[in-house]
Chains A and B, each alone.
Chain A
């Protein structure tokens, strides 16, 4: 598959801080890529460099096989939706959407047709004459999206598109963004700090930390086969054990083929819990009822507690003896 956006060994420093550190990444045509990381990990800086709002200190950015490293933002076939939406406060919704098209020289009937089309794509017809301050947060987000879509960009960049919305609206918008992408066939690059958002929408997730990309893979792979401990920890709770000589000493469990010193990782929801003794037995130390599921902390040896997430209500009480097991594929081996 061809790469629409190619980032080659890009670095960016702000004073003493290295925001983006030697990052290389290919974004494929028609792909939904999520840049995921905690705040300050460099994901927004990377997005701004693709948009042309920051210039890399070193490295190259190619868009559609053209070197765009030094191209100004107005010369790039990408459009960005800002976290604040950055609507023009003195312009109506229609004028906001028309602004980008006017820069391309569009006028008259063609211009108004494209504006109508873009507003229809986000279901905002009829609100054209309103000013941004007369809109709700969700409506503003739609206008900002329409303003980008009207330009028919090859790549749409979204900086925390759902962060400013309430929970209910966020879920709906998430589904709409996915549907919109499927309908329009535009490449999406989304910056987010929310792993469930990234997992729900993206074809591939690039996990970032301290200016570096830790892993780029599909949502299922980053979750189930994390490349390292940082990625594993980023996607929710996980049990991690150090391995020695092909086994986990704390549990007495054998893991064949694992290199010495590597880590074993098992997600809490992959562990089955049952009454009585088994290969791995322990005592329930704590029970946390979550509604749809229950978390048990099971002490399996003197210093070792295993976190288990079981669906449904509380089945085991504190102090009860239980046995734990998991299918072989649930165990991921990570580098130390």
Chain B
């Protein structure tokens, strides 16, 4: 066998990875292009990163996105962990199937529909109760949490389903009331799953354009919305720089989430 020959599997892997990551690579390379024209390479320069950090509009939007992602992920973790715990530990109860379906629905609902229905609800709330007037970051937080909760619930439920109940039963047997069991035994044991769920919810919120566009107010533009609207006026190399930063941050967070998931499996 010729040891320099590339095997079929290696070639297939290369093609697959290229298909997935070549577009990202193009953006990342172009973010260091000195030229104003995105399609013409004139030389290496970090100047667009400098301009990016001088752009107040983009920085405000980035801050908005971070606030929304942190808040919605935290809300989703509280609701999603509770839901996952109920599904994994409460056995059969009336309406279990309906609740499970209702929780999973946002996973398959088109973003446009989800966004539109949320907008209509927020408008109705404003008109009826004058709640959430004008919409803003809070409405985006609620909207994001409404679909990221499902991801957290699924991750937590899967972890609990694979976990022996005996530690929890033993804690109850040793005198701990149900809430004490959850706080002292269950929660520490599912912590990696909860953290992975938070990171996933954070990334999903950071990436979302469609739902945020529907439910945002005038002062609450998020980063994807700025990127999308500026691209329509022609791609600025600044956006390439921004995209590069987002790609790096997202990949880093997903790697941490995956690593935590693996650490959990190993522990078992």
A residues neighboring B (CB under 8 Å): 51-53, 72-74, 76, 78-80, 82, 84, 86-90, 99-100, 103-104, 147-148, 151
B164 touching A80, Cβ below 8 Å: no
Interface size class of B (residues with CB under 8 A): 10 to 19
A88 touching B166, Cβ below 8 Å: no
B171 touching A104, Cβ below 8 Å: no
CB under 8 Å from chain A, chain B span 174-190: 174-177, 180, 184-185, 188-189
A73 touching B167, Cβ below 8 Å: no
Counting CB contacts under 8 A, is B170 at the interface?
A: yes
Interface-central residue, A53, A79, A103, by most chain B CB under 10 Å: A103
Tell me the smallest distance from the CB of B185 to a CB of chain A, in Å. 6
Considering the complex, give the chain A residue whose CB is closest to the CB of B175. A103
Counting CB contacts under 8 A, is B126 at the interface?
A: no
Query: Looking at the complex, which one of A74, A90, A104 makes contact with B173 (CB distance below 8 Å)?
Result: A74
Tell me the smallest distance from the CB of B111 to a CB of chain A, in Å. 39
Chain A residue numbers with a CB within 8 Å of B185 are 88
List the 9 closest A-B pairs by CB distance, nearest first.
A100-B174, A103-B175, A86-B166, A86-B170, A73-B172, A90-B188, A74-B175, A73-B173, A82-B166
A225 CA to B175 CA, complexed, in Å = 41
A99 touching B173, Cβ below 8 Å: no
B171 touching A99, Cβ below 8 Å: yes
A76 CA to B172 CA, complexed, in Å = 10
Tell me the smallest distance from the CB of B186 to a CB of chain A, in Å. 10
Tell me the smallest distance from the CB of A28 to a CB of chain B, in Å. 22
A89 CA to B170 CA, complexed, in Å = 12
Chain A residue numbers with a CB within 8 Å of B174 are 74, 79, 99-100, 103, 147-148, 151
A52 CA to B169 CA, complexed, in Å = 10
Interface-central residue, B173, B184, B188, B267, by most chain A CB under 10 Å: B173
Query: Looking at the complex, which one of A51, A72, A78, A89 makes contact with B167 (CB distance below 8 Å)?
Result: A89
Chain B residue numbers with a CB within 8 Å of A88 are 167, 170-171, 185
Tell me the smallest distance from the CB of A40 to a CB of chain B, in Å. 18
B173 touching A103, Cβ below 8 Å: no
CB under 8 Å from chain A, chain B span 132-184: 164, 166-167, 169-177, 180, 184
A104 CA to B174 CA, complexed, in Å = 9
Chain A residue numbers with a CB within 8 Å of B267 are 89
Chain B residue numbers with a CB within 8 Å of A99 are 171, 174, 176, 184
A184 CA to B170 CA, complexed, in Å = 22
Query: Looking at the complex, which one of B167, B172, B175, B176 makes contact with A87 (CB distance below 8 Å)?
Result: B167
Q: What 12 additional pairs, Cβ within 8 angstroms, besides A89-B189, A89-B267?
A: A51-B173, A53-B173, A72-B172, A73-B172, A74-B176, A80-B170, A82-B169, A88-B167, A88-B185, A90-B188, A147-B174, A151-B175
B166 touching A73, Cβ below 8 Å: no
Tell me the smallest distance from the CB of A277 to a CB of chain B, in Å. 61
Considering the complex, give the chain B residue whose CB is closest to the CB of A133. B267
Interface-central residue, B174, B188, B189, B267, by most chain A CB under 10 Å: B174
A79 touching B173, Cβ below 8 Å: yes
A70 CA to B175 CA, complexed, in Å = 15
A82 CA to B172 CA, complexed, in Å = 13
Chain B residue numbers with a CB within 8 Å of A100 are 174-176
